[in-house]
Copies of this chain bind each other. A is one copy, B any other.
Amino acid sequence: MATNLQLRSLIKKSGELELSLVDTPLPALGADEVLISMEASPLNPSDLGLLFGTADMRTAKASKDSAGRPVVTAQVPEGAAMRAMASRLDQSMPVGNEGAGVVIEAGSSPAAQALLGKKVAAIGGAMYSQLRAVPMAQCLVLPADASTTEGASCFVNPLTALGMVETMRREGHTALVHTAAASNLGQMLNRICMKDGVALVNIVRKPEQVALLKGMGAQYVCDSSAPTFLQDLTDALAATGATIAFDATGGGPLAGQILGCMEAALNRNAKEYSRYGSTTHKQVYLYGGLDTRPTEFNRNFGMAWGMGGWLLFPFLQKAGAATVQALKDRVAAELKTTFASHYSKEISLAEALDLDVIAVYNQRATGTKFLLNPSK
């Protein structure tokens, strides 16, 4: 194994972000580990967060290292942006939450040996590497007829979407709201909800996204750019009874608007005045930060409400091993239908450090998700 190139993100104490490809030695495999030749790894918003940190990518510059490999540098603004990076300064960090590839070496255990030559999906970070060693427990064997491209996004989006529905049920709600709903994740959630008969209120930002989701069978799609948005949302909430939302935008007024419309929907049928508002608990989980403005809300939704962060891994820990295995089995069984992902482009490790390519995938816009193929 002469070479294992790995994409790294380093933020220096000086405030410089440096992205590079580093030749990384491979550790010896444990008995229950496998070595994967990586072929397909998505560039999810959570990956871009680690990749670019709080750097201002308008300052990005391209150069080459001594081996002629691409290097990108950019500046992290002083102040809050730099302080937010304090605990990762001067640490060269590998990137890539998940991906898929072929098992080319396996540890000594029979179970690991049985995976030799198999296509697997894996999770665990550092997936933007030519080769990646992981414990078997972090793998999912792909169905024989699935390609590694089809298996690249087996974990983050599918388990997040399933985790939202599972959280809804565990917290006693019967319908849910999702924002940035035209995203890959949003389309997946829509398919899960249609299949499971769960009412879903989709919130999008553009008329064409309404058409997209309606074309996919979504019943409730509200466009936050429409002048009738708050009325439309209240109608959809009254029709579905949704009292929990998962918000990918995080910033701005949206999370508070959702709570306010939930309260208005609940009060439509209220029989008497309650000075503290509806007694039904209304919950919004912020699981992303697509809108980088401060979160702002008027407290016009009574006292029975909650807002909070939601992350996949703490959810999986809380759900327990049996639930997680059931969710993984479902992902494998419905990989080409419910959990199908789409990518606008496949790029190599070197292309991932090309400024023009970065300018496209760092928009994080619906329909421009890229797939990284480290074997290219």
Write the residues of chain A forming the contact surface with B, with a CB cutoff of 8 angstroms.
49-50, 80, 84, 86-88, 91, 93, 250-251, 256, 267, 270, 272-276, 279, 286-287, 289, 294-300, 302-311, 314
Q: Pick from A50, A270, A294, A305 the residue with the most CB of B within 10 Å.
A: A294
A308 & B306 in contact (Cβ 8 Å cutoff): yes
Docked pose: A314 CA to B303 CA in angstroms: 10
Point out the residues of chain B lying under 8 angstroms from A307, CB to CB. Answer: 306-308
* Cα–Cα, bound, A43→B119 (Å): 70
Which listed residue (B270, B287, B314) contacts A279, Cβ 8 A? B314
A299 to B248, alpha carbons, bound, how many Å?
A: 13
Q: Determine the distance from Cα of A49 to Cα of B273 in the docked complex, in whole angstroms.
A: 14
B296 pairs with A87, CB closer than 8 A: no
- Which residues of B sit under 8 angstroms from A267, Cβ to Cβ? 86-87
A298 and B309 contacting across the interface, CB-CB below 8 Å: no
A190 to chain B, nearest CB (A): 24
* A-B contact sample (19 more), CB < 8 A, given A286-B299, A303-B311, A307-B308: A49-B275, A50-B275, A80-B298, A80-B300, A87-B270, A87-B273, A87-B274, A91-B273, A93-B273, A279-B314, A294-B296, A294-B297, A294-B298, A295-B296, A299-B309, A303-B310, A304-B309, A304-B311, A306-B309
For the complex formed, measure the closest distance between the CB of A260 and the CB atoms of chain B, giving whole angstroms. 10
Q: Judging by beta carbons under 8 Å apart, are B305 and A273 in contact?
A: no
B93 touches A251 (CB 8 A): no
A306-B308, A314-B279 known; A300-B87 Cβ under 8 A? no
Question: In the assembled complex, which residues on chain B have CB atoms less than 8 Å from the CB atom of A300?
Answer: 80, 84
Q: Can you list 26 A-B pairs, Cβ within 8 angstroms, ordered by A? A: A49-B275, A80-B298, A86-B267, A87-B270, A91-B273, A256-B294, A276-B311, A279-B314, A287-B303, A294-B296, A294-B297, A294-B298, A295-B296, A295-B297, A295-B298, A296-B296, A302-B309, A303-B309, A303-B311, A303-B314, A304-B309, A304-B314, A305-B309, A306-B307, A307-B307, A307-B308
Name the distance in Å between A45's Cβ and chain B's nearest Cβ.
12
How many whole Å from A230's CB to the nearest CB in chain B?
A: 11
Residues of B near A296 (CB, < 8 A) are 294-296
Of A86, A296, A309, which is in contact with the most chain B CB atoms at under 10 Å from its CB? A309
Chain B residues closer than 8 Å to A93, beta-carbon distance? 273
Q: Which residues of B contact A302 (CB under 8 A)?
A: 309
Once the chains are docked, how many angstroms separate the CA of A310 from the CA of B299? 13
A289 and B295 form a contact (CB under 8 A): no
A298: chain B residues within 8 A (beta carbon):
80, 294-295
A289-B299 contact given A307-B306, A308-B305, A308-B306, CB 8 Å threshold:
yes
Q: Are A251 and B299 neighbours in the complex by a CB distance under 8 Å?
A: yes
Question: How far apart are the CA atoms of A272 and B50 in the complex, in Å?
Answer: 14
Nearest CB of B to A275, in Å:
5
Taken together as a complex, chains A and B put the C-alpha atoms of A287 and B303 apart, in Å, by: 8
| Minimum CB distance partner of A293 in chain B | B298
A88 to B275, alpha carbons, bound, how many Å? 8
Q: Give Cα distance in the complex from A118 to B314, angstroms.
A: 54
Q: Which residues from B are CB-within-8-Å of A297?
A: 294-295
CB neighbours (8 Å) of A303 from chain B are 287, 309-311, 314
In the complex, chain B residues whose CB is within 8 Å of the CB of A273: 87-88, 91, 93
CB-CB < 8 A to A286: which residues of B?
299
A253: nearest chain-B partner, CB-CB: B294
Could you say which residues of chain B place their CB within 8 Å of the CB of A84? 300
Q: Which residue on chain B has the smallest CB distance to residue A53?
A: B275
